[in-house]
Amino acid sequence: MKGNGENLTIKSMNIKQQLTNIFSGAFERAGYSAELGTVTVSDRPDLCQFQCNGALSAAKQYKTNPMSIAEAVCSALTEEERELLTVEAVRPGFLNISVSGALIAERLNAIAADGRLLMPKTDAPKTIMLDYGGPNVAKPLHVGHLRSAVIGDALYRIAAFLGHRTVSDIHLGDWGLPMGLCIQWIIDNNIEKFGNGELNSIYPAATARAKDDAEFAAKAQTVTRELQQGDEYYYSIWQRIRAVSVEDAKANYDALNVRDFDYWYGESTAQTDVDEVITRLEAAGLLKEDGGAKIVELRREEDNEPVPPIIIVKSGGGELYSTTDLATIIQRERDFAPDEYWYLTDQRQILHFKQVFRTAALGGFSGAEFTHIAFGTVNGADGKPFKTRTGGVMRLSDMISEVREKLPDPRVAVAAIRIADLQNQPTRDYKFELDKFTAVEGKTGPYLLYTAVRIASVLEKADGVPAAGTYTAPASGKESSLALALDSAGDAVLRAFAEKAPSAVCDCLFEIAGKFNEFYAENRILTEPDAVRRNSWLALLAVTRRTLVTLLGLLGVEVPERM
Ligand code: ARG
């Protein structure tokens, strides 16, 4: 355990970690194990800033009275440590801890002086393959595609910020029967030129026709198969369809500030590896004949719910969504050798990914860690999946337009949409409420932007940001709360990464903005007569703004100069 006196240690650790270090040492000196010294943020902020419950666990472990352990730990603190904090042992054995203004000031000045605001970077970078977006060619993006794009994009930014090697692939749905349907329709109707508008009516028209016209349906199936086998004419039409759809998807993603994908691969890209999937599964003795189809059994003793077999080859030939996903794993292993795979789709695909992951493991395709981040649905005010006023599927582009009507600045609109989504745990459903999400009050994107913009205008009026090292110490409880919230931002980013949930970053943003607005309401910063105090506050404001901008950036939200 390092002493707290070393500059380097102080710099790299937030206050909570420094306290954990101090209390681990004190527990040890008092004769108990160091792990008991874990310090957490207080759940009674009216009493103290931090707490340690180690004496209560120690009491069970060592069969002693918790209160006397807590007192012994307090007495074991060194004189130097006592200068940094106040601690009180309270019944039945809690340690209530608060830190000195000097410690807060030291940390805040260190944060102010660091380009990354002392947010940690990993020393064990991993290669993370992120599969999100996933729109389907020839079909317009709908509101269901919002979450995959927005959560995936935020996770990408968070992982990259922490120093991991990130690879994104949109994995377009560009290879199944919808392709054959569109191609056959385009041929039948002699369509020479088409843009996205036409394409979006071609697909529903062709699907409807296939329902009542068996001959058309059969032809579309043949076209699909021949396309997959490399027919050049069909392939040339397919390429145009794909290009039009990609352009449309890009426009939607641009409007949401989703960063460009590293790879615009799709189900089609995986075709060259489909044979390899079959060969490897066969070699591993896993492929079974089942009524003309080829399957892999996936049942396991420990399953609560049986996992049905995965179909690798349909009876009558032709591969499936699952086969393509397996082939894609082979391709990704070859091209990127990821340590982890993160897939983002809605919860209806939970079983699909369970089957794919199991098969990949059984077949020895990859030793990586596979995670399906399965998110909930975006609902309308009625609690059912979000629809248009006439009851149709809500297009993503229409949803964006509705928000833009209320919030013409694209950055503010992006903030409204993304923060509305990202503040929820990915697994939870949420209701899309236009008025609520676009308001400047409440837990919204515009509220966060407004807070950052307001700080910028104070700093501007004050003629800029004071030099690092100007922060003195908090002058009130509200001010300490703000400073400690800023100090916890790095933890929030780590938690978002560990839990694969950008909502942790969102929570931290609301915490900081809330604490800032409370602090700001009680102080007149620009007219403060004491120049030292005024500069100290301006330094605090500067760190607040940079933290907000940095965290918002991790969620793909940019802050405008004015609002
Ligand atoms: N295109 C799919 C859909 O709309 C999503 C693709 C997700 N990624 C994957 N590797 N299966 O449902």
Residue 6's pLDDT is what? Answer: 45
**3-state secondary structure string, 206-230?**
HHHHHHHCHHHHHHHHHHHHHHHCC
Each residue's pLDDT tens digit, 163-200: 999 999 999 999 989 999 999 999 999 999 999 999 99
Given this model, what pLDDT does residue 366 score?
97
**Chain centroid offset of residue 233 CA:** 41
Pocket test for ligand 1, best of 151, 171, 329, 352 (most atoms within 8 A of CB): 171
Please, where in the chain does CATH 3.30.1360.70 lie? Answer: 2-99
Query: Are the beta carbons of 23 and 58 closer than 8 angstroms?
Result: no
Q: Can you give the pLDDT at residue 5?
A: 43
Q: Given this model, what pLDDT does residue 445 score? A: 98
Alpha carbon of 151 to ligand 1 centroid (Å): 15
**pLDDT surpassing 70 at residue 1:** no
Q: In what order do the strands lie in the sheet with 39-41?
A: 39-41, 50-52, 94-99, 85-90
pTM over 0.75: yes
The yes-or-no verdict on residue 2 having pLDDT over 80 is: no
The CATH 1.10.730.10 portion of the chain extends over 430-554
CA atoms within 13 A on the CB side of 406: 20
pLDDT for the residue 3: 42
What is the percent of the chain with per-residue pLDDT over 90, rounded to a whole number?
89
Q: What's the CA-to-centroid distance between 274 and ligand 1, angstroms?
A: 17
What does the pLDDT average to over 39-63? 95
Instruction: Provide the CATH topology of domain 430-554.
Output: Isoleucyl-tRNA Synthetase; Domain 1 (1.10.730)
Mean pLDDT of 443-469: 92
Q: What are phi and psi of 489, to 5 degrees?
A: -60, -40
Tens digit of pLDDT for each residue in 488-543? 999 999 999 999 999 999 999 999 999 999 999 999 999 999 999 999 999 999 99
Q: How far apart are the first and last CA of the chain?
A: 49
Local confidence band at 33 (pLDDT 50, 70, 90 cut-offs): very high
Tell how far the Cα of 154 is from the centroid of ligand 1, in angstroms: 18
Given this model, what pLDDT does residue 4 score?
41
**pLDDT (0 to 100) of residue 355:** 97
Give, for ligand 1, the residue of 349, 375, 393 to mutate: max count of ligand atoms closer than 8 Å to Cβ.
Answer: 349
Give 51 Cα–ligand 1 centroid separation in angstroms. 45
| Predicted local distance difference test score (pLDDT) of residue 386 | 87
Q: What are phi and psi of 263, to 5 degrees?
A: -135, 135
| Residue 121: half-sphere exposure toward Cβ, Cα within 13 Å | 10
Q: Tell me: pLDDT of 36 over 60.
A: yes
Greater confidence, 323 or 391? 323
Q: What pLDDT does residue 392 have?
A: 81
pLDDT at 11: 55
Task: State the average pLDDT over residues 15-43.
Answer: 97
Q: What DSSP string runs through 471-502?
A: ----SSHHHHHHHHHHHTHHHHHHHHHHHT-T
Give the residues across from 245 on adjacent strands: none
Considering the domain 2-99 in this protein, what is its CATH number?
3.30.1360.70
Q: State in Å: Cα 171 to ligand 1 middle.
A: 7
Strands, E assignment, 387-452? 430-431
- What's the confidence (pLDDT) of residue 7? 45
Residues with CB under 6 A from ligand 1: 131, 134, 136, 171, 173, 325, 343, 345
